[in-house]
Structure formats: C-alpha cells, structure tokens
Amino acid sequence: MQPPPRPPSAPETWPDGVRAPPAPTDAKAAIALVLGLLSVVATFCWLGLPFGIPAIVLGALAHGDIRRSQGMSGGRGMATAGMVLGAIGSALFLGWMGFLAYAVVHSSMGTAAAPPPPAALAPTAAAPPPIASPGSWGRIDVVDLSASPEPLRARLAEEVTTAREAGETVLVQTTAAACVACGEIARSMRDPALQAALADVRLVRIDAGELGAELPSMRMKEPALPWFYLLDGHGAPRDGISADEWDDNDAESIAPVLEAFVRGKLRSRRRPWRGTML
C-alpha cells in the first residue's frame, strides 16, 4: 500500500518568518536581453542580425537551464524578452537589407534602360553666328539674291534701275553661309562709321552657294569671299575689290575703303580685280 502524497511544503523561510531571497538570474538570460536590445538599436548600423541571432539562441538556452534548475535560477522573463527582441531586430535587419538591394537593382536597371545621349556633332568649319537679315540697315538698303528662274544679270539690272530711281548706288557683295568674314562685315554695318560711308547705298548680296553657276559668266567668280562690285547700267560689274583691302573686319577698317571704292576714288589696290572669267 502506497503512502498518501505529501502536501506541498511551505516556502522556505528564514527565522522570524522572512521569505528566502529570489533565485539568481541566469547569465544567459541577461545576455540575451542585452543582445536583443542591441539588435533592434543597431539594425541600421548593419549589426541587427549579428546581435539578433545570438540573442535568440542564448534566450532559448536560458529557458532550458532555468527549467532544469528547479527554481534555483531565474530570469525567464529576460530570456523571453531577449528572444523576442532578437527576432524583431533580425527581421528589421533583413527588411532593411532587402530594401537596399531592391533600390540598387532598380537604379541599375533604370540606368541601363536609359537611351544614350546623342553623340555630339563634330564642329563644322567656319560656321558664323546668324547675320543681320535683309532690309533697311539704317541708311543702307540691303537686298539678298538667291536662286531664281530669272537670270542673275537681269535681276542685277533691275536693282540698278530701282536704285537709280531712289538716288542710290548699287554695291554688290558675294557671300555664303559658311563665310566667317561675311558675317563679321554684316555685323559691322550698323556702326555709325559705315552708316556714314555707305549712306544712300543699296547693298545687294549674292549667295555664291546658290548662284555659283552664274558667277563665272558675270565675271564675279573669285577664289575667296567676299568680293564687292560696282555695276554698270546693264547690271554687269565694272569694278571690284576683295575684303583683303582692309586688315580687320570692323567698321573702322572697312568704312574708308568701301567709301572710297563706292565714290570711285580707290586708286591703290592690294589685290586688283582682273575682271576675268575663272
């Protein structure tokens, strides 16, 4: 016959009814709590996982040790808190790493998908800024002649007639879009010195690129641009000079030469006009 079970013994007491001190905290539980806190705090410093995994492991070991100690060790709450915080810190760390990886991959894909910028075009030789448009340049009347079914000589004869009726002298200039000197001369035309020198002058500009086929027959085909010509009553050139007659393409250098040429007083020439068909 088995003896009846013994009633649970009363808690151990010290003299005068004082309860015994609590069991000491398991060291693994305390370390697990500290590591769990560090794993949450240090997630964004790349230490969430290195602290979180040990916190979970030490918390689990502490639970086992406390259970086997039969009340001789405490710290079950610390061990549990360490495991929970370690799991949270590890999860935050993995989420942070995933976000960074996604951002890097997305950025690299966007860069790879972007079309390359258009290749810079090689600079073309001697392309000047836009020059002034035809019309009235102060006291200088400007007419631009480009390709037309009408012969160039007939058009120049019409300009001579119109200029004579207006009391103007026709001065013809050969030019082209890529002529740097032509652009510099055009930008100087509004200078007061050139305005005075070419007062009552009709400047007829011939595009050598579009009308080049007719220039030889007009004795206006020259190896360099620009050239300036005076016309007779039939629209044919009777005299011509090149821009080499002055040093710089500014009003101070151009004005006295062109004024003397238009008035028929330019005697000395650096490059005489041959008036030949080239």
Q: Are residues 95 and 171 in the same domain?
A: no
What is residue 132's predicted lDDT score, i.e. its pLDDT? 46
Among 33-47, 91-105, 190-204, name the most confident range.
Answer: 190-204
Domain for residue 10, yes or no? no
Q: Are residues 256 and 139 in the same domain?
A: yes
Domain for residue 32, yes or no? yes
Domain for residue 246, yes or no? yes
Q: Are residues 224 and 145 in the same domain?
A: yes
Cα separation values, 111 from 97, 105, 116, 159, 267, Å: 21, 10, 10, 61, 69
Mean pLDDT of 113-133: 51
Q: Which long-range contacts (CB under 8 A, 24 or more apart) does 145-149 make?
A: 145/204, 145/205, 145/206, 145/207, 145/211, 146/207, 146/210, 146/211, 147/207, 147/210, 147/211
Q: Are residues 191 and 83 in the same domain?
A: no
Domain for residue 245, yes or no? yes
Q: Are residues 248 and 150 in the same domain?
A: yes
Order of all β-strands in the sheet with 135-137: 135-137, 140-145, 201-207, 169-175, 227-231, 237-242
Predicted TM-score (pTM) of this structure: 0.52
What is residue 2's predicted lDDT score, i.e. its pLDDT? 57
Domain for residue 124, yes or no? no
Q: What is the C-alpha radius of gyration for the chain, rounded to an integer number of angstroms?
A: 50
For residues 203 and 147, what is the distance between their CA atoms, to the nearest angstrom?
18
When divided into structural domains, the chain yields a total of 2
Q: Flag whether pLDDT at 47 surpasses 60.
A: yes
CATH number at residue 227: 3.40.30.10
pLDDT bin (cut points 50, 70, 90) of residue 125 is very low
Each residue of 187-199: pLDDT tens digit?
998 899 988 989 8
What is residue 129's predicted lDDT score, i.e. its pLDDT? 42
Domain residues for 237? 135-262
CA pseudo-torsion sign 40, 42, 48, 54: negative
Domain for residue 2, yes or no? no
Domain for residue 68, yes or no? yes
Q: Flag whether pLDDT at 128 surpasses 60.
A: no
Domain for residue 275, yes or no? no
3-state secondary structure of 212: coil
